């Protein structure tokens, strides 16, 4: 009788788990992958993909408003939320089917049920079936975190429920200042909702470059979004279909919906990790892993948001692929988490890669800043009051571009390509030697020849 029923058991059918299962199966491993909700995980089902579809939908409002400046007369238009949600649901169902089919075509077995550890090698399914696996990969992702309990917390929705609202809220309060909070604030504002953002910090987008934070807030406020910083929601009252949120600054705000997007925590609860001996990283609450995604138990690995390292879908996919290659492909591959490009799909969107100005000044003795803000060409005829931000951070000693930050239309697309240059350690001279492509916003990245600021850190005496 074989010691193991399978070579690899993957717990979690999100982007990272699916990639790992598929690649391991293509390497010839016997693979089982279990998902208790829907194949595709957070990103595909209730995260990046449906969110981006809603971003596109809400941005059309801007296009309609801007059309008059270009000579278009557009009759009165109407927006129907249920139609958008129904069309979004059809696309998500198509993607879920594709994810399942691709894994099965590679030779892996898909089980749509919950899976937990019974011991370090044994997985118990919700059906009662037990599977012994030589290797186990935990890819259960993360979950919304509402923070400490407050009166009325049961009335709050998260990014899970927001995609299934039966109607568009006329007024919505969103607590949080990160990716998800700002993206949905702009989505709802684009549909015409009255939006209030409440955030405990001094400004939104903590951890981003300070110029980006200031610019994004200014642009959002121009669009009529109210941003209240330095306070939190302390309690929520329900009155029929309406809500009143009481804030720590003593004020109260009425709304049709209250959404919390204050962060996500690793999905480690009730997996039986203690039965398997898998350790938790005390600094972040995620599964503790080494550079090869190996946990404290040598044959158990973890990737993606459940490790709470760098919570981005492409990172989870890269980690899953590297795991499969290392364990089953006989190629030791360690994922590099440095200089990972990222985007915030607020409106205008943010694209960033590398170091912020503050990080660069702490790391290097000589730092040059190249920054430009300008009215995009499209706005000259549309009349829209908006400005773009372009910023390059340069280690002046080596001339290497160590950071790039863009706010404006197309920022994410630009930063994906700039990410290659930053990863290759391109210099400012390389940027200067690149011919500009006119007329584009991106040409600003290769035409900023004079530093707007220079910082020299004096050596400690």
Active site residues: 438
Give 27's strand partners: none
Of 291, 292, 320, nearest in space to 305 by CA: 320
Instruction: Kindly state the tokens that stand for 373.
Output: 């803000």
* Residue with the two structure tokens 């006329």: 170
Residues 6+ apart with CB under 8 A from 203: 177, 213, 214, 217, 229
Burial of 200 (0-12, 13-18, 19+ CB in 10 A): middle
CA distance 359 to 163: 36
Q: What's phi and psi for 183, nearest 5 deg? A: -60, -45
Find out whether 97 and 42 touch, Cβ atoms under 8 Å: no
Find out whether 109 and 25 touch, Cβ atoms under 8 Å: no
CA distance 87 to 38: 18
Find out whether 245 and 258 touch, Cβ atoms under 8 Å: yes
Cis peptide before 21 (omega within 30 of 0): no
Find out whether 169 and 256 touch, Cβ atoms under 8 Å: yes
Cα distances from 358 to residues 212, 361, 403, 454, in angstroms, run 12, 5, 11, 13
Measured torsion, CA atoms of residues 296, 301, 304, 307, in degrees rounded to the nearest 10: -10
CA distance 234 to 320: 40
Instruction: Kindly state the tokens that stand for 73.
Output: 């007369």
CA distance 72 to 25: 54
* Residue with the two structure tokens 């960033």: 352
CA–chain centroid gap for 259, Å, is 17
């Amino acid at each position: 009788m074989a010691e193991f029923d399978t070579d690899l058991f993957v717990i979690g059918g999100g982007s990272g788990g699916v990639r790992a299962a598929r690649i391991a199966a293509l390497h010839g491993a016997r693979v089982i992958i279990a998902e208790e909700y829907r194949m595709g995980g957070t990103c595909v089902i209730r995260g990046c993909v449906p969110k981006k579809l809603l971003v596109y939908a809400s941005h059309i409002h801007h296009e309609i408003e801007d059309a008059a400046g270009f000579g278009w007369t557009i009759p009165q238009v109407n927006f129907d939320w249920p139609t958008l949600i129904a069309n979004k649901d059809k696309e998500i169902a198509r993607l879920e089917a594709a994810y399942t089919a691709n894994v099965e075509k590679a030779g892996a077995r898909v089980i749509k049920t919950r899976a937990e550890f019974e011991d370090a090698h044994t997985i118990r399914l919700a059906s009662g079936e037990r599977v012994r696996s030589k290797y186990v990969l935990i890819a259960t992702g993360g979950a919304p975190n509402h923070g400490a309990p407050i009166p009325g917390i049961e009335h709050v929705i998260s990014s899970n429920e927001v995609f299934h609202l039966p109607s568009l809220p006329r007024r919505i309060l969103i607590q949080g200042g990160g990716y998800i909070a700002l993206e949905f604030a702009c989505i709802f504002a684009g549909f015409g909702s009255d939006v209030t953002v409440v955030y405990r910090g001094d400004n939104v987008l903590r951890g981003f470059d300070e110029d980006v934070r200031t610019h994004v807030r200014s642009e959002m406020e121009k669009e009529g979004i109210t941003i209240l910083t330095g306070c939190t929601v302390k309690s929520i009252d329900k009155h029929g279909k309406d809500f009143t949120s009481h804030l720590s600054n003593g004020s109260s705000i009425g709304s049709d919906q209250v959404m919390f997007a204050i962060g996500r925590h690793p999905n480690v609860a009730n997996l039986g990790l203690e039965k398997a001996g898998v350790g938790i990283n005390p600094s972040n609450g995620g599964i503790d892993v080494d550079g090869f995604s190996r946990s404290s138990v040598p044959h158990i690995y973890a990737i993606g948001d459940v490790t709470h390292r760098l919570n981005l879908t492409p990172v989870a996919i890269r980690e899953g692929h590297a795991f499969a290659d290392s364990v089953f492909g006989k190629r030791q591959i360690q994922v590099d988490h440095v200089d990972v490009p990222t985007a915030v799909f607020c409106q205008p969107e943010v694209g960033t890669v590398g170091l912020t100005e503050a990080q660069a000044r702490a790391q290097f003795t000589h730092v040059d800043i190249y920054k430009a803000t300008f009215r995009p060409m499209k706005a000259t005829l549309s009349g829209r009051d908006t400005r773009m931000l372009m910023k390059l951070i340069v280690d002046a000693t080596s001339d290497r571009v160590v950071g790039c930050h863009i706010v404006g239309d197309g920022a994410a697309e630009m930063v994906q390509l700039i990410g290659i240059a930053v990863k290759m350690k391109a210099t400012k001279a390389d940027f200067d030697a690149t011919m500009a492509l006119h007329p584009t916003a991106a040409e600003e990245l290769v035409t900023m020849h004079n530093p707007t600021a220079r910082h020299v850190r004096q050596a400690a005496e």
